[in-house]
Amino acid sequence: MSVSPPPAPAPAETALLGPAPPVKGLRRDVALLIEKVAGAGAGGLKAKDLAFLAPTAAIDRRNRVPIAETRDGEIATIEAEVDMHLPSVSQKMPYRVRLRDETGFLTVTYFRPKRDMIERLWPVGQTRLVSGKVETWNGERQMLHPDHVVDPATGQAPPAVEPVYPLTAGLPLRTLQRAVRAAVARVGDPPEWLGASTVAARGWPSFGDALRRLHAPEDPADVTPEAPFRTRLAYDELFARQCALRLRRAGRRAKQGRAIEAPGARAQALLAAIPYPPTGAQTRAFRDIRADMARASPMLRLLQGDVGSGKTLVAALAMANAAEAGFQSALMAPTEILARQHGEGLVPLLEAAGVRALVFTGRDKAKEKRAAMEAIASGAVGAVIGTHALFQDEVAFAKLGLVIIDEQHRFGVSDRMRLVEKGVEPHVLVMSATPIPRTLGLAVFGDMDISVLDEKPPGRKPIRTVALPTNRMEELIDSVAEAAARGERAYWVCPLISESEEVDLAAAEDRFELLRERFGDQVELVHGKMGASARDAAMDRFRSGASFLLVATTVIEVGVNVPEATIMVIEHAERFGLAQLHQLRGRVGRGDKPGACVLLWRPPLGELAKTRLDTLRRTDDGFAIAETDFKLRGSGDLLGVRQSGFPPFRFVDPAAHGDLLALADQEARLAVDADPDLTGPRGAAIRLALALFDVEESEHLARSG
């Protein structure tokens, strides 16, 4: 199933989807700045791009007061007579115009003025309405470069409440406002795509009325995220995106793939080769995956689990199941380190189940690469673990039936699609070690089926977490030395590679030098700007025990597995996000000894950072941490736009509108279930919403994961 283009809408709606209306006298360089601020796409600036540019604030100009009642620093609108001009004696000096009313005087000041323009604007003896910020200078009231000057005799007046938009250098607010007003004039009254009960229950205006009021506010509160006008538009945006996700899901299920059914002997052989039984969550996840693979419609399932929850075992069972049915599988990891580490765990497991597996990366030698590609193309290899190298054109699979994407958020949509396209509608399993709150899961993974690993395998011990100020670093280094004497290993994570004057943070290279003075060649350094061979060599020495301390940046955040590592030091922990701290902590305590995580913080500690560190000390539940992280951050890409392949949100503020997502998803599900081809009147309105919010082309992303 695919979403066909929406039928021709009414003229006003066509105009909103069409090019932005011209602005008289607009220079090309300023027009380019408007395109940048409005987020114009490849097709150029459209009217809706400007109409969907939400104000960031509003200026209240309703404060009309006599001059004597103006307050320093406040915006005021004053009606006064032009008393006299006080021209500047040179271009470097300001030009002043003195105004008067019955209560006193106020001076309007211009720097670098055009004298003829000022004389026309401020004729002596005439009355003017002027609006701007009043300030006190040398004991006198003045207004520097007023925002508005109008002749009340013409019936004009400054706007009572003026919307403010995001700007960029060289773009005047007044120019952008004119462009937005011209676009909003084309909004019209689109057909209603929301259910009547939704609109009535919330007391919301129509879409058109909400958009017009947002850009012509009657009160500064009208433009806030909590206002009914912005809330209505945010719900529309969420509803459109959830409809697109539901259509993706329906489109995927309508496709004809290949059913993969196997008795399960190889999966049982694999389970027999491990020293512990799977958790209940692992068993349920594999059961769901196996049922999905047995259907002709291709699977798209997310396997979500906290650090150490056992996703690799579930992936191995799925690969064994595919091999038993005669199909190949490919697991793609975001880095070579992770691909090789997966290989260390998966290859022996799969071979115990009778499945030949290999690791394929871009750094393989030419001879090894040719041999691997021949084995993959012939079908001699049942499972391949690799990096981006897997989707190179020269890599051909004999019968690719299952694609597994590890840490899927680290890949672009096109990357994932290129690997998927190497099979004939293969089943897709995506894995994430980053717990995501249910609210966000709806937005990011609304087109997927989800399995959650919410149990830890037996033997995993809780990690003791402590927070220390940086002035106790020597004491901490002594503790690391004691751990080394016991045969344990440690990570030391820094936020930067090298010191900079601009950012006063501990740097990996500098910390490495300091620690090497104490421990000599027992210290390794790993960061993202190192060459791959040097990085791998350092990791290999650390894994083998040739060194016991690894100084690193967050390149080790996900997937690195050294069971002997028991200590994780995170320097300047107050600068890291909660989810990232939790991921780093999960790198230790993976063996038979308990792990410890030390959060080194630099005083003074702000309230937000204190809450983050306290949360991490109190719990190791990744899902609880994710919920707290969502509440604390409240902005940015928290609704997973980049992961979903959708353009950025225009109206949605995660902190203000997060509770709307579940309602929008429920309404989208009911609407798409009732009219899956969007052929009825409401379906046509939903098609328009998809076009307006730039998600009508999203269906082709469905197979990408």
Q: Is the pLDDT of residue 705 over 60?
A: no
Helix (H) or strand (E) holding 664: helix 660-674
Q: Are 340 and 397 part of one and the same domain?
A: yes
Q: Are 536 and 577 part of one and the same domain?
A: yes
Is the preceding peptide bond at 55 cis, omega within 30 degrees of 0? Answer: no
CA 317 to chain centre: 31
Q: Are 402 and 449 part of one and the same domain?
A: yes
In angstroms, rounded to a whole number, what is the distance separating the alpha carbons of residues 555 and 493?
9
pLDDT tier for residue 438 given thresholds of 50, 70 and 90: low
Q: Where are the beta strands (DSSP E) in 193-261?
A: none
In angstroms, rounded to a whole number, what is the distance separating the alpha carbons of residues 350 and 381?
11
Q: Is the pLDDT of residue 639 over 70?
A: no
Q: Within a 10 A sphere around the Cβ of 474, how many other Cβ atoms?
A: 8
In angstroms, rounded to a whole number, what is the distance separating the alpha carbons of residues 348 and 551?
30
Q: Are 480 and 448 part of one and the same domain?
A: no
Return all residues near 587 (Cβ < 8 A) that are at least 6 apart.
Answer: 307, 491, 556, 557, 560, 561, 562, 565, 568
The answer to whether residue 244 is domain-embedded is no
Q: Is the pLDDT of residue 51 over 70?
A: yes
Structure tokens given for 597: 């995580």
In angstroms, rounded to a whole number, what is the distance separating the alpha carbons of residues 488 and 476?
15
**Residues 399/377, Cβ–Cβ less than 8 Å:** no
Higher pLDDT, 264 or 15: 264
Pairing mode of beta strands 104-110, 95-101 = antiparallel
Length of the chain measured in residues = 705
The answer to whether residue 535 is domain-embedded is yes
Q: Are 300 and 220 part of one and the same domain?
A: no
What pLDDT is recorded for position 633? 64
In angstroms, rounded to a whole number, what is the distance separating the alpha carbons of residues 644 and 630?
18
pLDDT tier for residue 515 given thresholds of 50, 70 and 90: very high
Structure tokens given for 589: 């305590």
Q: Is the pLDDT of residue 601 over 60?
A: yes
The answer to whether residue 552 is domain-embedded is yes
In angstroms, rounded to a whole number, what is the distance separating the alpha carbons of residues 157 and 142?
20
Which residue pairs, CB below 8 angstroms and at least 24 apart, start in 671-679?
Answer: 671/195, 671/243, 672/243, 672/246, 672/247, 672/250, 676/1, 676/250, 677/1, 678/3
- CATH number, residue 135: 2.40.50.140
Pairing mode of beta strands 464-469, 400-406 = unpaired
The answer to whether residue 701 is domain-embedded is no
Structure tokens given for 675: 């009219």
In angstroms, rounded to a whole number, what is the distance separating the alpha carbons of residues 405 and 419?
9
Q: Is the pLDDT of residue 606 over 90?
A: no
Q: Is the pLDDT of residue 503 over 80?
A: no
Largest interatomic CA distance in the chain: 99
What pLDDT is recorded for position 498? 63
> Which of 453, 472, 492 is the endpoint of a domain?
453
Residues of the chain above pLDDT 90, percent: 54
Structure tokens given for 247: 């259509």
pLDDT tier for residue 439 given thresholds of 50, 70 and 90: low
The answer to whether residue 644 is domain-embedded is no
Q: Are 217 and 305 part of one and the same domain?
A: no
Phi and psi dihedrals of 86, rounded to 5? -125, 80
Q: Where are the beta strands (DSSP E) in 613-686?
A: none
Distances (CA, A) of 568 to 314, 349, 405, 490, 585: 27, 29, 27, 6, 6
Sign of CA dihedral 170, 172, 176, 182: negative
pTM: predicted TM-score of the whole model, two decimal places: 0.75
Q: Are 312 and 435 part of one and the same domain?
A: yes
What pLDDT is recorded for position 81? 97
pLDDT, tens only, 89-132? 787 889 999 999 999 999 999 998 888 899 999 999 999 999 99
pLDDT, tens only, 578-600? 888 888 898 888 777 889 999 99
**Residues 299/429, Cβ–Cβ less than 8 Å:** yes
> Which of 619, 650, 678 is the endpoint of a domain?
619
**Residues 538/581, Cβ–Cβ less than 8 Å:** no
Q: Within a 10 A sphere around the Cβ of 19, how many other Cβ atoms?
A: 12
Q: Are 514 and 604 part of one and the same domain?
A: yes
Q: Are 328 and 301 part of one and the same domain?
A: yes
Helix (H) or strand (E) holding 524: strand 523-526
Q: Is the pLDDT of residue 643 over 80?
A: no
In angstroms, rounded to a whole number, what is the distance separating the alpha carbons of residues 259 and 295?
5
Domain residues for 124?
A: 62-158
Phi and psi dihedrals of 13, rounded to 5? -70, -35
The answer to whether residue 683 is domain-embedded is no
In angstroms, rounded to a whole number, what is the distance separating the alpha carbons of residues 679 and 683?
5
Q: Are 38 and 187 part of one and the same domain?
A: yes
Phi and psi dihedrals of 601, rounded to 5? -125, 150
Tell me the mean pLDDT in the region 359-364: 83
What pLDDT is recorded for position 2? 42
Amino acid identity of residue 25, one-letter, is G
pLDDT tier for residue 619 given thresholds of 50, 70 and 90: confident
- Taking each helix axis from N to C end, the angle separating 508-519 and 473-485, rounded to the nearest 10 degrees, works out to 60
Residue linked to tokens 């894995």: 431
HSE-up of residue 113 (Cα within 13 Å, Cβ side): 26
- Among candidates 389, 371, 391, which has minimal Cα distance to 381? 371
Q: Are 189 and 286 part of one and the same domain?
A: no
Domain count, the chain: 4
The helix/strand count (H/E) of the chain reads as: 25, 21
> Which of 113, 130, 158 is the endpoint of a domain?
158
Edge-to-edge, what's the strand order for the sheet holding 357-360? 357-360, 383-386, 328-332, 400-406, 427-432, 300-305, 449-453
In angstroms, rounded to a whole number, what is the distance separating the alpha carbons of residues 89 and 96?
11
Tell me the mean pLDDT in the region 548-575: 83
**Range from 23-37, 188-202, 286-300, 641-655 carrying the lowest mean pLDDT:** 641-655
HSE-up of residue 276 (Cα within 13 Å, Cβ side): 11
- CATH number, residue 485: 3.40.50.300
pLDDT tier for residue 638 given thresholds of 50, 70 and 90: very low
The answer to whether residue 674 is domain-embedded is no
Q: Is the pLDDT of residue 661 over 60?
A: yes
Q: Tell me how many degrees the CA angle 588-640-165 measures, rounded to the nearest 5.
A: 130
3-state secondary structure of 455: coil
Q: Is the pLDDT of residue 547 over 50?
A: yes
- Among candidates 160, 161, 165, 213, which has minimal Cα distance to 55? 165
Q: Are 295 and 186 part of one and the same domain?
A: no
Amino acid identity of residue 539, one-letter, is M
**Residues 360/330, Cβ–Cβ less than 8 Å:** no
Return all residues near 639 (Cβ < 8 A) that are at least 6 apart.
Answer: 440, 443, 444, 649, 652, 654, 661
The answer to whether residue 77 is domain-embedded is yes
DSSP-derived secondary structure letter, 421:
T
What pLDDT is recorded for position 701? 39
In angstroms, rounded to a whole number, what is the distance separating the alpha carbons of residues 107 and 86?
9
**Range from 57-61, 68-72, 248-252, 579-583 carrying the lowest mean pLDDT:** 248-252
User: Mean pLDDT score of the chain, rounded to an integer?
Assistant: 86
Higher pLDDT, 5 or 667: 667
Q: Is the pLDDT of residue 487 over 60?
A: yes
**Range from 162-171, 208-217, 365-374, 625-634 carrying the lowest mean pLDDT:** 625-634
What pLDDT is recorded for position 1? 38
